[in-house]
Structure 1
Amino acid sequence: MAAVIGIAAAAVVAFLVIGNGSGPTGPRALTPDEANRLAITRFRNYQAGGRAVTITVPSAAGGLVITGSIDYRGKLGYGVVHGTGRDTSSDGLIEWTAATVLVHPMANTPAQAPESPPGSDWYSRPMQTTGSALDTSLAIALGLGSDRPDNAALLPQNGATWTGQDQLGGHQVDVMTGPNANGKPGTAGNVRYWIGSDGTMYRVQVNVASEPQPVVIDFDTQRYIPVPPVPGVGPTR
């Protein structure tokens, strides 16, 4: 999993509003229950096998939105890319692993990726570890699954906090700051998690060094479609 490069940055107001202002607000230390839910939230994605996602990638030149699915056991993502506030030159299909990004440009990109990807006209390149908000966002999203829980006892020691409550997609959630997608100590505050009562992850917001606005990853935004490997690129099971 690629590490998240975090910096303190002002976030878009729409993503910072927590609750309706009538409930308690933080930040404050995590309770034991909150620490346990934060510790298992990436493991919940792995247990689910895969999740439907919408990844909003910021850019001064116009952002990108990836709508698709991630197989957290196979470590493989697949979806469609649409530009926002920019031309359509980046639109098309995309599939990615921790090491490789494949793109399939399309003149008329559908709202959702076809269940069976085209068998040709894919362009492959290595995943960039620095300098690309898109690749950083893809790596972050792929890293939000783990085959084991994090250490709940260490999360408060490493600076994880509770910051408030929210309603998201019909779910009552707690909003917590926590470690990056590797569970790396010292990164609490760079990542904000919207977590349900059973530890299910519904949104993640990450500050990245290359952009003044955060990457936002929303889950269950559409029906989950099992991720089909592009011919010649299989899951890393």
Structure 2
Amino acid sequence: MSNQRRLRLILSAVAAAACLTGCGQQQNSPDAEPPKRLTTEQAQALAVLRFNNFSAGRVPLTIEAHGAVTLRASVVVDFRAGAAYGDYTTSEPGSSEPLTSGVIAWSTDQVGTASGTADGAVPAATAWTQRPMDASQPTDVALALALQLGADRPENPVLLQQSGARLLRVEGKGDDTVYVMSGPGRAAADGSPGTAASSRTTYWVDRTGHLVRFEAQIGSGDPATFTVGDGDEAAIPGKVLRFLRRTS
């Protein structure tokens, strides 16, 4: 199976989950203002966020995703290489006691894990456990979504305004302003754009179109959160990239 076909299958699991859990996931507090149509500035910020990530090349992400286990990972995502690498732990739902821990690496079609080394060195190729991405696993859907936060071209802001993406609220002021926006919702049966209530994604984006945080409803409806870290990140080691390019 090709990388792109596998990725499409994995990402379709997000939409499938919406059918299982229903709409209305994006709910504001009773006192919050209703979602608003995006202004031109807001639509432009949303339109370039993936392109900005791709242009940066490597972006540090902290991920928390829920499924049969809870996955927490602190990784570097290399959008140009289509890969991610870093530390991870898993735990039982509702617990912080680790079940497993070590390093994790993934591409669009496979995932590898290994025990961490005492000196922080990259584990040898023989130390990795390798498996295909699994579209039925919410945590794998979250890993695939992380790679989709970068793209080599901007989106069309006009189409985003027409898609059902909405402004939920504005946080901060001035240069610290962050737009909290729902992504495009599921289209209605008559083909009309989805609403904020039917959206499975929420973006925190600054005025220049740089992602601060991303949240997606996966699996049974639990959120997967992706928080962008600060600072420059080292490149993913070449031996990890070679490992990810190996066939299963």
Q: TM-score, normalised by structure 1?
A: 0.78
Kindly name which structure, 1 or 2, has the bigger radius of gyration based on alpha carbons: 2
1:105 aligned residue: 115
2:75 aligned residue: 68
Residues 1:191 and 2:197 are matched in the alignment: no
1:200 aligned residue: 210
Superposed CA offset, 1:45-83 (max 9, x none): 001111000001123x55221101100111110011123
Equivalent AA in structure 2 for residue 220 of structure 1: G
2:36 aligned residue: 28
| 1:16-95 equivalent positions in 2, closer than 5 A | 25-59=33-67, 62-84=69-91, 85=95, 87-95=97-105
Check the 8 A contact 1:10/1:213 in 2, yes or no: no
Measured after TM superposition, the shift of residue 26 of structure 1 is 3.8
Equivalent AA in structure 2 for residue 79 of structure 1: G
Superposed CA offset, 1:172-223 (max 9, x none): 300011149xxxx859621110000100001000011x23321000001575
Equivalent AA in structure 1 for residue 144 of structure 2: A
Secondary structure of the residue aligned to 1:227 is coil
CA–CA distance in structure 2, aligned partners of residues 63 and 157 of structure 1: 35
Equivalent AA in structure 2 for residue 198 of structure 1: T
CA–CA distance in structure 2, aligned partners of residues 179 and 225 of structure 1: 33
2:189 aligned residue: none
Unpaired runs of 5+ residues, structure 2, are 1-6, 186-192
CA–CA distance in structure 2, aligned partners of residues 75 and 211 of structure 1: 27
Secondary structure of the residue aligned to 2:145 is helix
- What RMSD, in angstroms, separates the aligned Cα atoms of the two structures? 3.2
CA 1:54–1:187: 2 relative to 1, 3 Å: farther
Check the 8 A contact 2:63/2:74 in 1, yes or no: yes
2:165 aligned residue: 160
Secondary structure of the residue aligned to 2:51 is helix
Superposed CA offset, 1:124-154 (max 9, x none): 111112x212111100011110000111111
CA 1:207–1:104: 2 relative to 1, 3 Å: same
CA 1:211–1:118: 2 relative to 1, 3 Å: same
CA–CA distance in structure 1, aligned partners of residues 184 and 229 of structure 2: 22
CA–CA distance in structure 2, aligned partners of residues 228 and 25 of structure 1: 46
Measured after TM superposition, the shift of residue 101 of structure 1 is 0.4
| Length, aligned pairs only | 215
Superposed CA offset, 1:13-33 (max 9, x none): 9xx78xxx8xx8440100011
1:149 aligned residue: 154
> How many percent of aligned residue pairs carry the same amino acid?
29
Check the 8 A contact 1:52/1:225 in 2, yes or no: no
The structure in which a higher percent of residues are helix is: 2
Deviates more, 1:185-194 or 1:38-47: 185-194
Secondary structure of the residue aligned to 1:128 is coil
Check the 8 A contact 2:112/2:244 in 1, yes or no: no
